[in-house]
Amino acid sequence: MESSPSGRDRAAIWIGVAALMGFAVLVIYMFSLLTSSEATWSRALYLFAGVEAIAFAAAGYFFGREVNRQRAENAESRAGQAEQKAAEAAERAVEAVTRGQSLRAALQARAGVQLEGSDSGVRTAREIEELSRLAEELFPKRP
């Protein structure tokens, strides 16, 4: 989905194209001055340096604009992926907390039940109580 350039962008493009074309014409003209006198060559070279700077600025605008646009699109894509991963991680965290609280509630309910019978029943009750305390530490009751 390419957006059309605004009036300001179009003007910058036309000015840049004109600067590059002018630079090309000046380069051709400089070749014609190769056999001229030292004074003429020095003056032409002085003017050439100024036009060269403008032409390179125009070329930098064209190439830099494209590179920056691509970098911005890539950054937006990475940000979207990061947001999606963060949302998925938040969902997993909520699910883990919910499961942990369910485990805590189940263990506390079991710990409250008195097991009757043999020695193994008492040992199992203690183990459940220990697990219940551990679940309470790991998953405290939320308000």
Tens of pLDDT, residues 57-103: 878 877 777 667 778 888 888 988 989 999 999 998 888 888 888 87
Mean pLDDT of the chain: 78
Cα–Cα distance for residue pair 21/25, rounded to 1 Å: 6
Q: Is the pTM of this model over 0.75?
A: no
Tens of pLDDT, residues 103-127: 777 777 766 654 444 455 566 777 7
Query: Cα angle at 38 between 35 and 40, to 5 degrees?
Result: 80
What are the residue ranges spanned by the domains of the chain? 7-138
Tens of pLDDT, residues 26-69: 889 888 888 888 888 888 888 888 888 888 887 887 777 766 77
Q: Count of H helices and E strands in the chain?
A: 3, 0
